[in-house]
Amino acid sequence: MTLYQPFLDYAINLMQEQLSLEPYPIPEGFEQKQGTMGKGIKETTVLTTSYAYKCPKLRQIRAAHVEGGNSLQVLNFVIFPELNYDLPFFGADLVTLPGGHLIALDLQPLFHDELYQQKYYQGSLLSIFTNLSEQLPWGGDFPDEAKSFFSPVFLWTRPQQTEIVETLVLEAFKQYLQTYLSYVEQAQIVSDRQKQLEILAAQKRYVNYRATKDPARGMFTRLYGEEWTEEYIHGFLFDLERQLLVFP
Ligand code: DBV
C-alpha cells in the first residue's frame, strides 16, 4: 500500500456512494504506464495509473497516481464540472519527492466576486480550513500568476513527517471532498447565456494555465518521453480544449 492509495480509495468509494458515476474514457496507452528512474542500484520502476469518471454534473473526474518507491509518490486528482454549473474545481496535488512532501488542496474558484465567495467559501469549509492551517506549516511561495486560481481555503503545506500526511492531510482531503460533494448535490443548472459564457471562459483559463504550467511535465518527460507526456497532458489530464473541438 503506497502513501496516497488510501486517498484514492476513499475518494472513489465516497463518489460511488454519492454520485451516479460512469466511466470516462482514458485514451489508449494512458491507463497505465511504466518507466524507470535512476541508474544502477538506484534504478526504480515508476508506475503511473490513470482513473477517470463522470456523472451528470461533473464533466470529468480524473486522477493520476504515480508510484515509484518511498521517495516518489504523487496523486493528482482534479474534478472538472460541466460547463453549465458554476461549481469550483476540486483540486488535489499530493506530491512526495526525495526532498519531502508537498500538499496542495483546494476547491479552485471560477470567479472571485463576493457572491461566489459567500456561496462556496464561508461556513463549515472555512472553519475546517482555519483549524487545519493552524496545525500545518505554510508551503511557502508559489508563482504569482497561480494566485487567481486558488481560493481562501487553499491548503498549501510541506509537512516534514510522513505521519502528518497519513493523518491530518488525509483527514483534510476527506473533509474537502465531502464538502465538495455536498456542493455538487446542491448545484443548480445555470441557464443564463451570459453566465454560461463566463463559466466557459473561466474553465478554459484554468485548464490552459494548468496544461501550460504543469509542474509534473519534467518528471513525466524524463520517465516516459516528450510525445507521451504532451499527449497525456492535453489529451487526458487537461482535456477541455480537445473535448470542445469534438463536442463544440
Ligand atoms: N501537478 C499537476 C499534475 C501532476 C502534478 C497533473 C500528475 O498539476 C504533480 C501530476 N506537482 C506535481 C509534481 C510537483 C508539483 C508541484 C511532480 C513537483 C515538481 C518539482 O518540484 O519537480 C500546485 N504543485 C507543485 C507546486 C505547486 C503545485 C504550487 C510547486 C511549484 C512548482 O514546482 O511549480 N496545483 C499546483 C498548481 C496549481 C494547482 C501550480 C495551479 C492551479 O492546482
Distances (CA, A) of 64 to 46, 56, 61, 81, 105: 13, 22, 11, 18, 15
177-187 tens-digit pLDDT: 999 999 999 99
Question: Grid coordinates representing 31?
Answer: 491507463
Cell numbers of 176, please?
474537502
Pocket test for ligand 1, best of 30, 89, 93, 205 (most atoms within 8 A of CB): 93
Three-state SS at 94:
strand
**What CA–CA distance (Å, rounded) separates 92 from 7?**
10
| CB of 104 shorter than 6 A to ligand 1 | yes
Domains and CATH numbers, the chain: 5-197 (3.40.1500.20)
Q: Kindly report the protein residue whose alpha carbon is nearest to atom 15 of ligand 1.
A: 215
The rounded Å distance from CA 210 to ligand 1 centre is: 9
- The pLDDT value recorded for residue 132 is 95
> Is 25 in contact with 53 (CB distance < 8 Å)?
no
* Residue 215 Cβ contacting ligand 1 at under 6 Å: yes
Percentage of residues of the chain with pLDDT beyond 90: 93
Instruction: Provide CB contacts within 8 A for 62, sequence distance 6+.
Output: 24, 50, 51, 52, 53, 77, 78, 79, 80, 236, 237
The model carries a pTM of: 0.97
Nearest CA to ligand 1 atom 13: 216
- CA of 154 from ligand 1 middle (Å) equals 14
Q: What is the pLDDT of residues 57-86, one digit of tens each?
A: 999 999 999 999 988 999 999 999 999 999
With b meaning 16 or more CB within 10 Å and e meaning fewer, what string describes 107-142?
Answer: bbbbbeeeeeeebbbeeebeebbeebbeebeebeee
**What grid cell was written down for 118?**
459567500
Do 49 and 34 meet the contact criterion of CB atoms below 8 Å apart? no
Which pLDDT does position 98 carry in this prediction? 93
